[in-house]
Structure 1
Amino acid sequence: MAELSIPTSAGTFDATVAGPPDGRPLLLLHGFPQTRAAWRHQIATLAARGYRVVAPDQRGYSPGVRPERSEDYRVDILVDDVVAITEWLGWTTFDLVGHDWGGAVAWWTADTHPARVRTLTVVSTPHPGALAHALRTDDDQRARSRYMIDWRETPATENEMLAHDAEKLRAFYAGKVPQSSAEAYVRHLSRPGALTAALNWYRAGRPERAIGVIDVPTLYVWSTADLAFGPAAARETAQWVKGPYRFETLRDVSHWIPEEAPESLNRLLLEHLRAAA
């Protein structure tokens, strides 16, 4: 693995790159409250299989792309970041993988730029349309998503998460993420402005348009012990994909699939990628 700086009109993204330069291009998008390091197991496995893998710290997580206004984290801007990163890399098409908020950006990228996305893999996060449907119809999902409303308060949320040596921020990882990784995430997000930037993803407001049905080969991986996303939205996601679709459930695994169950995720991901070879 090597470090990579990716300059764009929005600023410079920090990234990890691995695999042969002429390998099949694949982009990994992390979520909250993590960094590109969440993908270390997938990066190593995919690079060893000949993929050219790039995992950036996304907007707000990269110090070089950390605007202060919450509106600068709208989903259309986050999708533009994906396009800018891949254009700088010289990728006209690529395999796209996302987890948590990175998964939401991946869904929107596949909807907005289907010709660029060779395959889509989303971990944990249901299709945004499926999630919206569940929020209207399912009490369980409404209860799970209450935190999204709470986190829009500024700066109360940051103060609460970082108080007492970031006790509440550390609690998110709940022993499911290795201690060394959790400590690295806490250090990263404790730097001035970093946690506010990460929370601005929740504060940016609703997308300006509705997302459509996805028409690219899609793998969706959900886990039964995920506290954020329940079964209603997970099952509903099938209604929002008209391309080849595979839904896989990991039993008794929490939200942090890439780090908690890396072998299972890597196996599913490689099968999905090979099917579209």
Structure 2
Amino acid sequence: MQVDARGLTFEVRTGGPSDGVPVLLLHGFPQHSGEWDEVVPALHAAGLRTYALDQRGYSPGARPEAVAAYRIPELVADVVAVLDALGVDAVHLVGHDWGAIVAWAVAAAHPERVRTLTAVSVPHPAAMAHALGTDTEQKARSSYIALFRKPGKAEKVLLAWHATALRRMLGGVGDRPRVDRYADPMREPGALTAALNWYRAMSRADLAAVGPVAVPTTYVWSDRDIAIGRTAAEACAANVTGDYRFVPLPGVSHWIPDAAPAALAEAVLARVAGTA
């Protein structure tokens, strides 16, 4: 379905019983709402209604040109506006990668709209800041961000030779058709630039503005995540004042919704059931 909000048009994949308790799913870079396809069947079987949002820059009808249009406050405002347009007061919120950052920020700023939070792969921004300030390994893991913030150069590197570098980065999601499913849309004119603008608009001030989270929260992390190390993962707990669970997945890559959908669905359902 399409949802009009804030003068933009967002693509939303829906599923599950129409009267089910709502779950909003936020994807990460460089994917789209399809990353949840193997997670949602278990949620639907449990009676939940899912809304998987193609976020700003990923929905073709929600692709502004200005870098500043991709700041975290704008991404948070999109989520709230989409919920308003859907007529949904509060959701169980699930986010992966950049979607996790947005989910952390929504839960901190608008706890009345969030029943529970399940953040996947990326911890609370303050936990990342702690790791970057104390852990040289995390600094190395995050070094790719410097390239992503360079307009033109990042696009050239990632899209060269039929997006070879982008496809290599996505290797952990699964087989070639699955990689193509995410890489091919990024080759459309303007799509990769819009996705990279999330990194270019990112600022220490916006990240620091994400406060502690009081809603019941689960953080799911995988020990083969190339981007997020254990220091950042374990620091996450200090930034949640509500009920908190840490779910580490051994032997799983960064691409948890693709690589371990059953384990992720189990963690989401356990969190939802804990406060139902």
> Which interval holds the TM-score relative to the shorter structure?
over 0.9
- Matched with 1:156 is 153
Greater CA drift, 260-269 or 177-186: 177-186
How many residue pairs align between the two structures? Answer: 274
Q: Deviations over 1:220-247 (max 9, x none)?
A: 0000000000000100001000100000
User: Within 2, Cα distance between the matches of 1:178 and 1:91?
Assistant: 36
1:158-237 equivalent positions in 2, closer than 5 A: 158-206=155-203, 207-208=205-206, 210-237=209-236
- Matched with 1:46 is 43
Alignment match of 1:25 (pick from 15, 22, 39) = 22
TM-score norm. by structure 2 comes to: 0.97
The alpha carbon displacement at 1:179 in A equals 2.3
Greater CA drift, 207-216 or 34-43: 207-216
User: Within 2, Cα distance between the matches of 1:39 and 1:45?
Assistant: 11
Alignment match of 1:124 (pick from 105, 109, 121) = 121
Amino acid at match of 2:248: T
- Matched with 2:10 is 13
The alpha carbon displacement at 1:56 in A equals 1.1
The alpha carbon displacement at 1:54 in A equals 0.4
The alpha carbon displacement at 1:276 in A equals 1.0
1:93-132 equivalent positions in 2, closer than 5 A: 93-132=90-129
Superposed CA RMSD in Å reads 1.0
Amino acid at match of 2:269: L
The alpha carbon displacement at 1:175 in A equals 4.3
Give ranges in structure 2 of 5+ residues lacking alignment.
none
User: What SS does the aligned partner of 1:13 have?
Assistant: strand
Query: Does the 8 Å contact 2:172/2:259 carry over to 1?
Result: no
Q: Percent identity?
A: 48
The alpha carbon displacement at 1:27 in A equals 0.1
User: What SS does the aligned partner of 2:214 have?
Assistant: coil
- Matched with 2:259 is 260
Amino acid at match of 1:6: V
Amino acid at match of 2:6: S
1:73-112 equivalent positions in 2, closer than 5 A: 73-112=70-109
User: What SS does the aligned partner of 1:115 have?
Assistant: helix
Query: Does the 8 Å contact 1:158/1:195 carry over to 2?
Result: yes
Alignment match of 2:135 (pick from 119, 133, 138) = 138
Amino acid at match of 2:186: L
Q: Deviations over 1:100-125 (max 9, x none)?
A: 00000000000000111000000000
Q: Deviations over 1:202-227 (max 9, x none)?
A: 00031445221110000000000000
User: Within 1, Cα distance between the matches of 2:172 and 2:254?
Assistant: 12
Alignment match of 2:144 (pick from 123, 142, 147) = 147
User: Within 1, Cα distance between the matches of 2:117 and 2:232?
Assistant: 18
User: Within 2, Cα distance between the matches of 1:76 and 1:10?
Assistant: 16
Alignment match of 1:63 (pick from 44, 60, 65) = 60
Query: Does the 8 Å contact 1:177/1:256 carry over to 2?
Result: no
Amino acid at match of 1:118: R
Give the direction of change, closer, same or farther, for the CA distance of 1:45–1:178 in structure 2 (3 Å limit): farther
Amino acid at match of 1:70: V
Query: Does the 8 Å contact 2:222/2:252 carry over to 1?
Result: yes
Amino acid at match of 2:84: E
Q: Deviations over 1:5-50 (max 9, x none)?
A: 0111231001100011111011000000101000001222212221
The alpha carbon displacement at 1:177 in A equals 2.5
Give ranges in structure 1 of 5+ residues lacking alignment.
none
